[in-house]
Structure 1
Amino acid sequence: MEENTTIFGIRTVIEAIQSEKNIDKIYIQKGLSGPLLQELQSLVNKQEYNISYVPVEKLNKLAQGNHQGVVAKISPVKFRDLEEVVQESLEKDGTPPLFLLLDQITDARNFGAIIRTAECCGVDGIIIQSKGGAPVNADTVKTSAGAVFKIPICKVNHIKDAIYYLQASGIKVVAATEKTSSTLYEQDFSTPVALVMGSEGKGVSSSILKIVDENAKLPMFGTIGSLNVSVACGAFLYEIIRQRSSPLNSEGKI
């Protein structure tokens, strides 16, 4: 396990990439150019790192020193290989596999809260996308109450590819979305399942909704149209637990 670290300087970040450090996010100054930066750009483009182009004022806040227009955050956790984690879940005895895919969750505290609930619910692994999501930073670690170190987190280039792989592995993918008439209570979660939770503002993206196996929503009775994503995630996960721990009735339904 690595400490949560900020590194800066173009050559330093290049060397960190080449050393296969767990880089969570790279900040590059807007308008920056030069041959060394081109070398960095070539490396990050090959591996699809999470990059933000920011004004120099942002970099000055992130790093105290000659950052040369580039700052990177090294993740405090080591990301796991998706195929390896899925295989482990399929080979274990007992409870069917349960995965969580996060589609562009951007708030670190929401991310941490989701990780904490997922660990409490026995989720086998959390899958996030390399670009666009919240970083695994100090806020994430604190909000997760240390759960970030106890549950496998897999970082993939594209969530869609992860969904296709899960489906090919016999795992049903269910998206949590209000854009459906089916509630989570109508779903059968007794089989291997991967749950997709969407971003705070837009929910699960339309392109992902087209390829999942099922869509499900939480019933809402108030005037506010949605729940905080970490709260909604908890409701879904505990319905999965309820179904998996409840005996079947005479009709074979939970």
Structure 2
Amino acid sequence: MENQTQIFGIRAIIEAINANQTIDKVFLQKGLQGDLFSELETLVNKKSINKSYVPIEKLNKLSKGNHQGAVAQISPIAFHDMETLVLNVMESGKTPLFLLLDQLSDVRNFGAIIRTAECTGVDGIIIQKKGGAPVNGDTIKTSAGAVFKVPICKVDHIKDALFFMQASGIKVIAATEKTNDTLYDVSFKEPCAIVMGSEGRGINPSIIKVSDAKAKLPLLGEIESLNVSVACGAFLYEALRQRRD
């Protein structure tokens, strides 16, 4: 399976961005200069598109044609507008359940989380435009196709999404070990959004600080943490259990 549809060539990428194609990431050649290249850099920055400066050898591997120092990957899905999604779910009469992923970086973890989210009735997943795992072929495969069933939104900053959730009457619960409360001590019965952190550093401390509640998994062994997709599954199924009761 191809990871994404690729576009190569500076002008072609500029036109794709201006045509509102869902660009997941742009790879730019290190040290390249020129007016057209600068125009592309400016546009990528303005649109907050993920970018990475790489050696020409990397671009040669990514592209089968004349890449001119730039290769872009188009996401296989269309992302939803977060505010519209939240309002629609709130107006539907159901009790909302959202996931906020704070710069999760591994595509397989991302795919596994999407799969569990679909199975547990999550209404939407919110990710940050920069720094997070892309939606690519590995994500699709690991999610078993659930990526096409669960709405996914991209935002500039996770904290902005958090504040919007709170303003909409949705309780934000941070999954973190920096608390005495376990997930069994916290109520998931009301409208809520669960925040999961990245594999390495967890949730950003500034996000933990403004969350409405914090919860951790009880760990009885010597290992101090679980894989983030496993931990997310535990949280989602506890939310489902409480709501079914």
1:62 positional shift: 1.2
Aligned residue type for 2:183: L
Q: Distance in 2 between matches of 1:175 and 1:53?
A: 33
Q: Distance in 1 between matches of 2:178 and 2:67?
A: 45
- Matched residue SS, 2:219: coil
Q: Report what 1:89 is aligned to.
A: 89
Q: Distance in 1 between matches of 2:190 and 2:54?
A: 45
Q: Report what 1:194 is aligned to.
A: 193
Q: Report what 2:163 is aligned to.
A: 164
Q: Segments of 4+ in structure 1 off by > 2 A? A: none
1:63 positional shift: 1.1
Any residues of structure 2 matched to 1:33-52 within 5 Å, and which? Answer: 33-52=33-52
Q: Report what 2:70 is aligned to.
A: 70
Q: Distance in 2 between matches of 1:244 and 1:93?
A: 15
Q: Report what 1:142 is aligned to.
A: 141
Q: Distance in 1 between matches of 2:61 and 2:156?
A: 29
Q: Report what 2:111 is aligned to.
A: 112
Q: Report what 1:21 is aligned to.
A: 21
- Matched residue SS, 1:237: helix
Q: Distance in 2 between matches of 1:191 and 1:216?
A: 16
Cα RMSD over matched residues?
A: 1.0
Structure 1 unaligned residues grouped into runs of 5+: 247-254
Structure 2 unaligned residues grouped into runs of 5+: none
1:51 positional shift: 1.0
Q: Report what 2:230 is aligned to.
A: 231
Aligned residue type for 1:217: K
Aligned residue type for 2:119: C
Equivalent pairs counted in the alignment come to 243
Q: Distance in 2 between matches of 1:150 and 1:34?
A: 42
Could you tell me the TM-score, scaled by structure 1's length? Answer: 0.94
- Matched residue SS, 2:184: helix
Aligned residue type for 1:111: F
Q: After superposing the two structures, state which structure 1 stretch, 145-154 or 55-64, moved more.
A: 55-64
Q: Deviations over 1:182-217 (max 9, x none)?
A: 111000110000000000111111121111111110
Q: After superposing the two structures, state which structure 1 stretch, 48-57 or 170-179, moved more.
A: 48-57
Q: Distance in 1 between matches of 2:14 and 2:201?
A: 34
Q: Report what 1:10 is aligned to.
A: 10
1:179 positional shift: 1.3
Q: Distance in 2 between matches of 1:185 and 1:224?
A: 20
Q: Report what 1:55 is aligned to.
A: 55
Aligned residue type for 1:81: D
Could you tell me the TM-score, scaled by structure 2's length? Answer: 0.97
Aligned residue type for 1:32: L
Aligned residue type for 2:70: V
Q: Deviations over 1:153-190 (max 9, x none)?
A: 00011111111101000000011011111111000110
Q: Report what 1:208 is aligned to.
A: 207
Aligned residue type for 1:64: K
Q: Deviations over 1:95-140 (max 9, x none)?
A: x100001011111111000000001110000000000011100000
Aligned residue type for 2:26: I
Q: Distance in 1 between matches of 2:179 and 2:78?
A: 36
Q: Distance in 1 between matches of 2:70 and 2:159?
A: 30
1:93 positional shift: 2.6
- Matched residue SS, 2:210: coil
